[in-house]
Amino acid sequence: MYVHAIGWVICAVLAFAQPFGLIAADTKHDLSADPLGFLAGAFSVYSDNFPLGQLQNQAYGYLFPQGAFFLLTDFLPDWVAQRLWWTIVLGVGYSGFVVLARKVVTLSPAWLVLGGFVYALSPRALTTLTAISSETWPVMLAPWVVAPFLVQRISWRHIAAAVVPVACMGAINATATLAACVPAAIVLLYRKQFKALGLWLIGCALVSAWWIGPLLILGKYAPAFTDYIESAYVTTRWLNLPELLRGTTSWSTFVDTERQAGSLLTTEPLFILATCAVAAVGLAGLTRLPKVWTAMLLIGIAVMGTHLGVYLDFLDGAGAFMRNLHKFDPLVRLPLALGVAVAAHKLATRRMAAATLVVLVVLTSTAPAWTGRLLPKGAYEEVPQYWQEAAD
């Protein structure tokens, strides 16, 4: 238990170490400013909050768990509620990795902690945590979906345990939820557990029915907004092998500097070298793990790194919903985080200095979190009066 406690304390320190009193427009401004009013509108397909009205765009997806959390913490200052949410997001990812790692390989506590933070503080997580945590949340739940299937005999209890985190993912972004479930599906397919896979998929469908129905209604009546946002060319052109391995897969940081942590990890030579070194250590450790993890890594690289014209056409057509391929980052990050933990453990038994160097490299690669640069540009202390006047 103390391994989990240490991780959660550090996650809380990191979240609250960001500039005090500043609020980020994380995912939806309304979540912190007026959660009750925002969630109340989610029960109607049509919103009349604007002069001409509009169709709700996946507002129902915020009902649980993110919206429910901010509703329960509405009595707190907005910036405190946000810091608590970010603590939970990071802590869930950290603990999920620790639970998963213990079922894969025997590691000492120090290297479990290291691996947990390699996963929870990956470039993908640091890029999205404070700007669009609704995309970070499914990533942090992915290890919890995989872990129950890492046993010799899978029973209905293990299947139920893997369905619960899927139910907790919410539906703010259906593709992110789908992508976070793929690693577990790969494990089941690799082990030829087809019956367990079928039952698990049924369970996932049942616990997701509350948002799949509204999503189908939205798809029927809403404009095809994917025709007017980023194209497959924009979202995939940055996904070369080094970027995939080191985790800088979010296209937004290549075209804009708003997300400070992600921008630093994308452009600063020190962070580029550090994240490449972490990836190299992960690849070295991966050779000591069961082959399913190598298969998962290769599938992730194939999904995110294929630039064939027919694939891009698919992503701009019928596959537009999965155009932001960076959501499949757990396919690469889980194997590499396991690899880092295993490699550091092996090094520690031979050369402690080398293991210490790995720790220093990991600390460098996650430095934007330790130095208070997680908040996106434009964070504010309170809603400006002119915003209120414009709304009125």
Mean pLDDT by 10 residues, the chain (392 residues): 94 96 89 86 70 67 92 95 98 98 94 97 96 96 98 95 96 92 98 97 96 86 82 92 96 92 95 97 96 97 91 91 94 98 92 91 96 92 85 80
Write down the pLDDT at residue 50.
53
CA–CA distances in Å: residue 320 to residues 139, 211, 233, 309: 20, 19, 12, 14
Report whether 26 contacts 133 (CB < 8 A): yes
User: What ranges do the domains of the chain cover?
Assistant: 2-391
Write down the pLDDT at residue 55.
67
> Would you call 355 helix, strand, or coil by DSSP?
helix
Distance CA 307, CA 281 (A): 27
The dihedrals phi and psi of 47, each to the nearest 5 degrees, come to -110, 135
Distance CA 129, CA 89 (A): 8
Cα–Cα–Cα angle for 255, 86, 131, nearest 5°? Answer: 20
Write down the pLDDT at residue 59.
79
Q: Which residues touch 314 (CB under 8 Å, ≥6 apart)?
A: none
Distance CA 4, CA 141 (A): 15
Q: CA-based diameter of the chain, in Å?
A: 69
pTM reported for the whole predicted model: 0.95
Q: Which residues touch 156 (CB under 8 Å, ≥6 apart)?
A: 199
Cα–Cα–Cα angle for 288, 293, 294, nearest 5°? Answer: 80
Report whether 137 contacts 66 (CB < 8 A): yes
Cis bond upstream, residue 65 (ω within 30) = yes
Write down the pLDDT at residue 53.
58
Report whether 337 contacts 122 (CB < 8 A): yes
Q: Using CB atoms within 10 A of its CB, is residue 194 exposed (0-12), middle (13-18) or buried (19+)?
A: exposed
Write down the pLDDT at residue 23.
94
Write down the pLDDT at residue 382.
85
Write down the pLDDT at residue 129.
96
Q: For the residues of 157-179, what is the DSSP string, one character each? A: HHHHHHHHHHHTT-SS-HHHHHH
